[in-house]
């Protein structure tokens, strides 16, 4: 489950794992629409009405290539959103869901699965269907009489009512098809670290079962949630416009020159380089320029270093240090899941990160407003 204030962290993880389409559940944003996010990603979201209580809401976070291949999308409800993409094989319809819990009332569950069935029926028959999300459905590892929609490698346990309802939609459940360790099947862990379930799923049309190469969780992904990131590898190529890729040159971190000590080190490094240049005579102008440029690049590389491409300009160093610390705590929790002290420290670090993110966003907005006001006066 992902709140919208955590999108910068989620986008960072999406970039690290090379994910093109990322489904989000329980973002708690009302209304529906499309918005631009950090790192050039686009968010499609579908929630409750504007004046309703903030709960549920689903979304799809798209990379640049996925956004360029997007044909259409539809906000079905606060629990279902679907989008249609163009690929080199054929059209693909992706459905992101957030199903009611197994303890929800029969009416609520019936309404959701009726709506889901209606959505699936409305998809063109020739499309490849990929359904994913927080389904709250335990499938278990017993696939007797269920071979047509699940494999024999589900997480340990027995199927629940939501699992029975989810299996009856003509799709194959990917998390049960591939042989993995138990820790790579579990997608949700209770706050006390004792209860572990496989309730987040990725399913695909039966006809295209062979296109699904793997489905497993990524426990190391720092998504600030009690759910693990579930990644599916699909053998389909997204159709993007043909254009020459721009060579992204690495940029030196010139903001370090604002520090007087760093400026002094940079000047000293340049001075030493130019002392060597004085000893060279009878050079052509091009050769001299190459040596001067090399001296500047060498000094910048040694003293300034490169900018962090995973960091947006509005994010402070303090915020990213806190995110890295939380990622370290997450790794330690994976090694000791029952350590209550680590979990408390992780929870407190989450609160710190939220406060820092809100502060940095406010500062960035204020700075932009001041620049706009100054520009208007000029």
Look at residue 246 and tell me whether its pLDDT is greater than 60. no
In a domain, 241, yes or no: no
pTM here? 0.68
Beta partners for residue 22, in sequence order: 61
In a domain, 310, yes or no: no
CA pair distance 136, 201, nearest whole angstrom: 9
CA pair distance 303, 323, nearest whole angstrom: 25
What pLDDT does residue 198 have?
A: 94
Tell me: do 193 and 117 sit in the same domain: yes
- Rounded to an integer, the average pLDDT of 31-51 is 88
In a domain, 13, yes or no: yes
SS3 content of the chain, % helix, strand, coil (to 5): 40, 20, 40
Q: Which of 234, 262, 278 is the last residue of a domain?
A: 234
What band does 3 get if pLDDT is binned at 50, 70 and 90?
low
Which has more pLDDT, 81 or 322? 81
Number of domains, the chain: 3
Tell me: do 218 and 286 sit in the same domain: no
The Cα-based distances of 186 to 57, 172, 361 in angstroms read 23, 18, 34
CB of 228 closer than 8 Å to CB of 187: yes
Tell me: do 92 and 128 sit in the same domain: yes
User: In degrees, to the nearest 5, what angle opens at C-alpha 357 toward C-alphas 355 and 359?
Assistant: 70
- Rounded to an integer, the average pLDDT of 32-42 is 86
Look up the domain containing 373 and give its range: 317-377
What band does 1 get if pLDDT is binned at 50, 70 and 90?
very low
Tell me: do 120 and 166 sit in the same domain: yes
Q: Is the CA virtual torsion 290, 296, 297, 299 positive or negative?
A: positive
In a domain, 248, yes or no: no
Which has more pLDDT, 204 or 276? 204
pLDDT digits (tens, 9 = 90+) for 88-145: 888 999 999 999 999 999 999 999 999 999 999 999 999 999 999 999 999 999 989 8
In a domain, 311, yes or no: no
CA pair distance 378, 373, nearest whole angstrom: 9
How much of the chain, in percent, has pLDDT values that exceed 70? 90
Tokens of 212: 């699904």
CATH number, position 9: 3.60.10.10
Tell me: do 228 and 342 sit in the same domain: no
Tell me: do 45 and 189 sit in the same domain: yes
What pLDDT does residue 237 have?
A: 64
Tokens of 133: 């999300």
What band does 181 get if pLDDT is binned at 50, 70 and 90?
very high
- E-strand spans in 76-205? 80-85, 92-98, 128-134, 171-173, 188-189, 196-197, 200-205
What pLDDT does residue 312 have?
A: 65
pLDDT digits (tens, 9 = 90+) for 314-352: 778 788 888 888 888 888 888 888 888 888 898 898 899
Most confidently modeled of 104-108, 168-172, 244-248?
104-108
């Amino acid at each position: 489950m992902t709140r919208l204030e955590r999108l910068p962290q989620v986008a960072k993880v999406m970039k690290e794992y090379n994910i093109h389409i990322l489904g989000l559940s329980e973002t708690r944003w009302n209304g529906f629409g499309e918005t631009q996010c950090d790192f050039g990603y686009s968010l499609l979201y579908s929630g409750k009405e504007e004046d309703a209580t903030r709960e549920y809401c689903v979304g799809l976070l798209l990379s640049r290539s996925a956004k360029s291949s997007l044909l259409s999308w539809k906000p079905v409800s606060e629990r279902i959103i679907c989008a249609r993409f163009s690929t080199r094989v054929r059209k693909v319809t992706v459905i992101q869901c957030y199903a009611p819990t197994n303890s929800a009332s029969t009416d609520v569950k019936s309404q959701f699965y009726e709506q889901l069935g209606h959505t699936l029926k409305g998809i063109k028959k020739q499309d490849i269907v990929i359904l994913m999300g927080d389904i709250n459905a335990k499938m278990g590892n017993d696939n007797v009489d269920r071979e047509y929609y699940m494999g024999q490698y589900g997480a340990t346990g027995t199927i629940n009512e939501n699992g029975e309802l989810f299996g009856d939609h003509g799709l194959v459940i990917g998390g049960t098809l591939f042989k993995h360790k138990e820790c790579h099947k579990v997608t949700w862990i209770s706050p006390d670290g004792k209860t572990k379930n496989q309730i987040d799923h990725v399913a695909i049309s039966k006809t295209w079962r062979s296109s699904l190469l793997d489905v497993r969780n990524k426990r190391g992904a720092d998504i600030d949630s009690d759910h693990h990131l579930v990644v599916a590898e699909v053998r389909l190529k997204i159709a993007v416009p043909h254009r020459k890729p721009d060579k992204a040159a690495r940029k030196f971190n010139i903001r370090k020159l604002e520090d007087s000590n760093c400026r002094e080190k940079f000047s000293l490094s340049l001075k030493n380089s130019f002392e060597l240049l004085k000893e060279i005579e009878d050079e052509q102008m091009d050769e001299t320029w190459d040596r001067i440029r090399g001296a500047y690049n060498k000094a910048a590389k040694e003293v300034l270093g490169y900018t962090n491409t995973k960091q947006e300009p509005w994010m402070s160093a303090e915020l990213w240090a806190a995110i890295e610390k939380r990622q370290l705590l997450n790794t330690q929790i994976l090694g000791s899941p029952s350590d209550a002290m680590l979990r408390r420290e992780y929870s407190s670090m989450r609160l710190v990160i939220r406060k820092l993110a809100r502060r940095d966003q406010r500062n960035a907005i204020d700075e932009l407003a001041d620049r706009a006001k100054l520009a208007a006066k000029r």
